[in-house]
């Protein structure tokens, strides 16, 4: 399914079991990617590839349950708070309740915004939480926003401490996207950067995903040793680059606190 500008609504192919449900999910995914901009019936139906009548029925149903809101003047739809209410347990899981205060302390110390995302089965990353620093550049990605598997900082943080077989499988399905002039799109260069990330002890993206922005990222492991979440801090390149090592050390310190609190199993060479 294609979205405006040739972007896929979902990176996962629908199984074709319950088409109406799949179309409803596609609508939610599309509006989530467009946020904060709304979309009208014609745009949504053509993007998802369904009839206007079927799309209108789905939109009315989602609006009834407050998953979407409808603007009478502009005749457009956007995500509404009902979807968060009905999925509130995800935002209040025991693990998140451990992670959130430690990330909040990190943000206060460094005065840099933080995003917590969860790796998905299609290798994308969904925003679970975001913490903004006061009077500093804010993160605009909403909870539920899905980052592509090509999001440089998250991707490298996820892959760097994986075994070679997992990295090979990921690379087999890799379709490079040049978001900026500095985006790595060569397989050999990417493999080298994944290795450098592990040796360095943190993932970095300098203007590769968004022009002029820099991000540092680290994984959070669970008790089985799997990557459960990724957290990253970001700012303008000229703000973060001079502070990179100091910020990275503080992030490593926070990751160690989280792992101790979760009794997580981390790789032997992961920074502590």
Domain boundaries, the chain: 4-85, 88-262
SS3 250: helix
CB neighbour class for 122 (10 Å; exposed up to 12, middle 13-18, buried from 19): middle
CATH 3.90.320.10 fits 4-85, yes or no: no
Check: CB of residue 254 under 8 Å from CB of residue 271.
Answer: no
SS3 40: strand
SS3 49: coil
Name the DSSP class of 207. S
Check residue 135 and give its pLDDT. Answer: 61
Rounded to an integer, what distance in angstroms lies between the CA atom of residue 51 and that of residue 44? 10
- Pull the structure tokens for residue 191: 């493999």
88-262 fold: Beta-Lactamase (3.30.450)
Check: CB of residue 208 under 8 Å from CB of residue 184.
Answer: yes
Instruction: Give the pLDDT confidence of 66-86 residue by residue, as tens digits.
Output: 899 999 999 999 998 788 778
Rounded to an integer, what distance in angstroms lies between the CA atom of residue 254 and that of residue 92? 20
Q: What is the pTM of this model?
A: 0.73
Check residue 5 and give its pLDDT. Answer: 34
Q: Do domains 4-85 and 88-262 have the same CATH topology?
A: no
Check residue 16 and give its pLDDT. Answer: 75
Residues with Cβ within 8 Å of residue 134, at least 6 apart in sequence = 111
Check residue 3 and give its pLDDT. Answer: 35
The segments of the chain whose pLDDT lies below 50 read: 1-9
- Pull the structure tokens for residue 192: 């080298």
Q: Quick one: the chain helix, strand, coil %, rounded to 5? A: 45, 20, 35
């Amino acid at each position: 399914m294609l979205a405006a500008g040739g972007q896929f609504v979902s990176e996962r192919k629908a199984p074709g079991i319950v088409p109406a449900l799949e179309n409803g999910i596609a609508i939610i995914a599309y509006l989530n990617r467009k946020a904060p901009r709304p979309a009208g019936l014609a745009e949504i139906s053509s993007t998802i590839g369904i009839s206007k009548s079927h799309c209108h029925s789905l939109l009315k149903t989602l609006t009834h349950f407050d998953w979407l809101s409808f603007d009478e003047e502009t005749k457009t739809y956007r995500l509404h708070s009902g979807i968060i209410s009905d999925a509130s347990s995800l935002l209040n899981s025991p693990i998140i309740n451990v992670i959130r205060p430690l990330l909040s302390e990190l943000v206060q110390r460094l005065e840099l915004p933080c995003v917590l995302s969860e790796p998905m089965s299609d290798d994308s990353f969904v925003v679970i939480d975001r913490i903004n620093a006061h009077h500093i550049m804010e993160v605009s990605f909403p909870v539920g926003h899905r980052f592509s598997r090509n999001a440089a900082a998250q991707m490298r943080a996820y892959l760097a401490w994986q075994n070679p077989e997992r990295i090979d499988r990921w690379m087999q399905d890799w379709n490079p996207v040049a978001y900026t002039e500095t985006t790595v799109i060569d397989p050999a260069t990417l493999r080298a950067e994944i290795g450098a990330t592990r040796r360095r002890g943190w993932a970095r993206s300098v203007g590769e995903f968004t022009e002029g922005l820099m991000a540092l990222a680290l994984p959070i492991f669970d008790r089985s040793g799997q990557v459960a979440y990724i957290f990253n801090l970001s700012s303008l390149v000229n703000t973060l680059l001079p502070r990179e090592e100091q910020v990275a050390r503080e992030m490593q310190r926070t990751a160690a606190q989280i792992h101790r609190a979760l009794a997580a199993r981390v790789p032997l060479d992961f920074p502590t």
